[in-house]
Amino acid sequence: MKKLINGAEDVLKDALDGIAAAHSDLNVDKKNRIIYRATPKKGKVALISGGGSGHEPLHGGFVGFGMLDAACCGEVFTSPTPDQMQEATKVVDSGAGVLHIVKNYTGDVMNFEMAGELASAEAGVKVATIVTNDDVAVEDSTWTAGRRGVGVTVLLEKIVGAAAEEGRDLAAITALANKVNDGGRSMGVALTSCTVPAAGKPTFDLPEDMMEVGVGIHGEPGRTRVPLASAAEIAKQLVDPILADLDFTKGPAIVMLNGLGGSPLIELYVMYAEVSKLLEKAGVKIARNLVGSYITSLDMAGCSVTVLKADDETLKLWDAPVNTGGLRWGV
Amino acid sequence: MKKLINGAEDVLKDALDGIAAAHSDLNVDKKNRIIYRATPKKGKVALISGGGSGHEPLHGGFVGFGMLDAACCGEVFTSPTPDQMQEATKVVDSGAGVLHIVKNYTGDVMNFEMAGELASAEAGVKVATIVTNDDVAVEDSTWTAGRRGVGVTVLLEKIVGAAAEEGRDLAAITALANKVNDGGRSMGVALTSCTVPAAGKPTFDLPEDMMEVGVGIHGEPGRTRVPLASAAEIAKQLVDPILADLDFTKGPAIVMLNGLGGSPLIELYVMYAEVSKLLEKAGVKIARNLVGSYITSLDMAGCSVTVLKADDETLKLWDAPVNTGGLRWGV
């Protein structure tokens, strides 16, 4: 295992030290492993997300103006605990309520639910929840009942974050979050496995001439294991299932071409060329795009595609200023 | 070789298609393989950089407001030709002159020099040149007479780009570029080799338990090949030679912790924690920082550290608005 780490057990702790050292606009609570804005905005609905680490910049890199108020960091590929989420909920609530943004993995869903109940009971915080489930690859998985939450989570945190900055109330924010999740679909491909530090070896074996289509962000099995193909063919294997699942030809779309951690930017642009060509050929009007590594799976080589239905409202929120470590524009 | 590409010979062409599709504010001249601003600013000194591809987002990702006016893209790890550079120089010049920002590699230096002479002779363009040479690892290398140009190029493009937006003249811009280059030092480490698509196999062999300290961004040999070490020990092996080469304790510094393409963000933050600790212990006051993959070496796992002397002038220029694919703030 070749990684820039100290001990396998130190990865999260050390990464939090690095985030604290790099970003003076963030508070890092090392005991509770939560990252939150140093200068919270009073009176706005607060947004919290979180999950296992290993998907950076998601979620800690999206804490800041225009996106999240706090992120709860679990150990690598391990849900944070209800305690962490409850603490984050209390820290960021300023009376307008808190939205929990949860990727659909069994542990995350259960723990956020418990944290919401505890925060409501103990401190009277109004808590709402959105569970993202945009991955069309598999209906159920080793880690999930229902579809997995992946790339749409990034787009949702941006769009709903902008709405929260505008001062919308918790009911409106929650309705918008549901709209975004309902209109988003994703699919990923792995060329290599990731290696979890604590395991010290690749999560799965993938021969030199094969790839895993529909892979999950923890290396969960996808739909099919097929021979390594060209970028054009890979694009087709990602785009076709997305378009088969939802009609994206009415109105504009936001498209993300996301790297899984071990694939360099030059390859992501090669993929975006193919993906955007296929989508446009299918009648999808790409109004905005994002090319880069935003929701990763440690050092996995590969990428994912997310397509999101947009409209005037969501495009305006997309374009609104954002100022985080992982996404920044208009400020 | 596992890559998200079509043919090995198509990588640059396809990546340029992706960049054109993703960034409507850039013009991509596919014939000349240059990327330039769609809306040039009249009357300002124009900044051009370029070099072999495979280091993205450098340089194409730094074209835009507050940084470069154009980037010339060579094939992977291959210098662009004088023709490309000459064409870029003519396209962006609006009378105030052009600065060529050249990383110190023999082919790049020679070709940019020829292009400058041609553009001056043919079109009367005033051309100045800055050759960056910040890599303390080796004095000469397989690709270089003198030190290699690496991470400081990113910081220089940002700082000098802001000065050009302010309207400074070519002499002032060139003097500033020299100041930045003189005050910057870098050192990198590879955990794995990169794989050049046309070669189809790793550029060098690096056993599972070894790392290459002082590696170049094309996989050129470094200073030493030593057993794989902890993040803390790696940080020391990068920071010590930098501090031994230049005194950074007078005044503030800008520090970049850069990923080489195959290392995920969580590891870069682990490294930044160690690097920032060492620098502060040595009396370096870190005023600004950048953590992410900005000058890469295809899919190489590893990182580099760049430390740059700053002052009120350079910090102000650093903080000025920038709006490019690879760096964006304040706009």
Compare B145 and B178 and report the one with higher pLDDT: B178
**Chain A residues with CB-CB distance to B213 below 8 A:** none
Write out pLDDT tens, residues A246-294. Answer: 999 999 999 999 999 999 999 999 999 999 999 999 999 999 999 999 9
Question: Looking at residue B331, what is its pLDDT?
Answer: 76
A120 min Cα distance to partner chain B (Å)? 33
**Chain B residues with CB-CB distance to A232 below 8 A:** 6
| B59 among known catalytic residues | no
Going by their DSSP bridges, the two strands A224-227 and B322-323 should be labelled as unpaired
Write out pLDDT tens, residues B65-88. Answer: 999 999 999 999 999 999 999 999
Question: Looking at residue A182, what is its pLDDT?
Answer: 98
State the pLDDT confidence band at B301, using cuts at 50, 70 and 90.
very high
State the pLDDT confidence band at A41, using cuts at 50, 70 and 90.
confident
Nearest Cβ partner for A270 among B14, B192, B271: B14
State the pLDDT confidence band at A145, using cuts at 50, 70 and 90.
confident
Mean pLDDT of chain A: 97
Nearest Cβ partner for A5 among B11, B231, B265: B231
Going by their DSSP bridges, the two strands A70-76 and A34-37 should be labelled as antiparallel
Query: Nearest Cα to A42, choosing from A98, A92, A85?
Result: A92
Tell me: pLDDT of B142 over 80. no
Write out pLDDT tens, residues A108-135. Answer: 999 999 999 999 999 899 999 999 999 9
Tell me: pLDDT of A141 over 80. no
* Averaged pLDDT, B129-133: 98
**Chain B residues with CB-CB distance to A298 below 8 A:** 264, 266
* Averaged pLDDT, A164-176: 98
Question: Looking at residue A181, what is its pLDDT?
Answer: 98
Check the CA dihedral A57-A59-A64-A70 and report its sign. Answer: negative
A22 min Cα distance to partner chain B (Å)? 6
State the pLDDT confidence band at B143, using cuts at 50, 70 and 90.
confident
State the pLDDT confidence band at B139, using cuts at 50, 70 and 90.
confident
Question: Looking at residue B141, what is its pLDDT?
Answer: 72
Q: Name the residue ranges covered by the structural domains of chain A.
A: 10-182, 184-329
* B23 vs B17: CA distance, rounded Å: 10
CB contact under 8 A, A299 and B328: no
Strand order across the beta sheet in which B34-37 lies: B26-29, B34-37, B70-76, B46-53, B98-103, B127-132
Write out pLDDT tens, residues B245-257. Answer: 999 999 999 999 9
Write out pLDDT tens, residues A88-110. Answer: 999 999 999 999 999 999 999 99
Write out pLDDT tens, residues B261-274. Answer: 999 999 999 999 99
Tell me: pLDDT of A214 over 90. yes
State the pLDDT confidence band at A331, using cuts at 50, 70 and 90.
confident
State the pLDDT confidence band at B54, using cuts at 50, 70 and 90.
very high
- A226: amino acid identity, one letter: V
* B132 vs B245: CA distance, rounded Å: 16
A82 min Cα distance to partner chain B (Å)? 23
B145 min Cα distance to partner chain A (Å)? 28
* Averaged pLDDT, A1-19: 97
Length of chain B: 331
* B259 vs B262: CA distance, rounded Å: 7
ipTM over 0.95: yes
Interface test with A, best of B269, B276, B328 (most A CBs within 10 A): B269
Q: DSSP per residue over A130-186, as a string? A: EEE--B-S-SSBTTBSSPPP-THHHHHHHHHHHHHHTT--HHHHHHHHHHHHHTEEE
CB atoms within 10 A of CB A246: 16
CB contact under 8 A, B262 and A299: yes
CB contact under 8 A, B18 and A330: no
B15 min Cα distance to partner chain A (Å)? 4
* Averaged pLDDT, A145-151: 94
Interface test with A, best of B239, B266, B277, B288 (most A CBs within 10 A): B266
CB contact under 8 A, B4 and A271: yes
Question: Looking at residue A144, what is its pLDDT?
Answer: 76
Q: DSSP per residue over A269-318, as a string? A: HHHHHHHHHHHHHTT-EEEEEEEE-SS--TTB-EEEEEEEE--HHHHHHH
CB contact under 8 A, A274 and B14: yes
CB contact under 8 A, A289 and B22: yes
Question: Looking at residue B145, what is its pLDDT?
Answer: 81
Question: Looking at residue B63, what is its pLDDT?
Answer: 98
**Chain A residues with CB-CB distance to B293 below 8 A:** 264-265, 293
pTM above 0.80, yes or no: yes
Q: Which three-class secondary structure state does DSSP give residue B179? A: helix
**Chain B residues with CB-CB distance to A192 below 8 A:** 2
Q: Which fold has domain A184-329?
A: Hypothetical Protein Tm841; Chain: A;domain 3 (3.30.1180)
Check the CA dihedral A236-A242-A245-A247 and report its sign. Answer: negative
Of the options 3.40.50.10440, 3.30.70.1230, 3.40.50.720, 3.40.50.300, the CATH number for the domain spanning B10-182:
3.40.50.10440
**Chain A residues with CB-CB distance to B329 below 8 A:** 323, 328, 331
* A328 vs B329: CA distance, rounded Å: 6
Check the CA dihedral B313-B62-B178-B100 and report its sign. Answer: negative
* Averaged pLDDT, B230-236: 98
Nearest Cβ partner for A331 among B264, B301, B330: B330
State the pLDDT confidence band at B179, using cuts at 50, 70 and 90.
very high
Let me know: does A100 contact A112? Beta carbons within 8 Å: yes
Check the CA dihedral B65-B68-B69-B70 and report its sign. Answer: negative
Q: b or e along A92-114 (b: 16 or more beta carbons within 10 Å of the residue's beta carbon)?
A: bbeebbbbbbbbbbebbbebbbe
Mean pLDDT of chain B: 97
CB contact under 8 A, A5 and B298: no
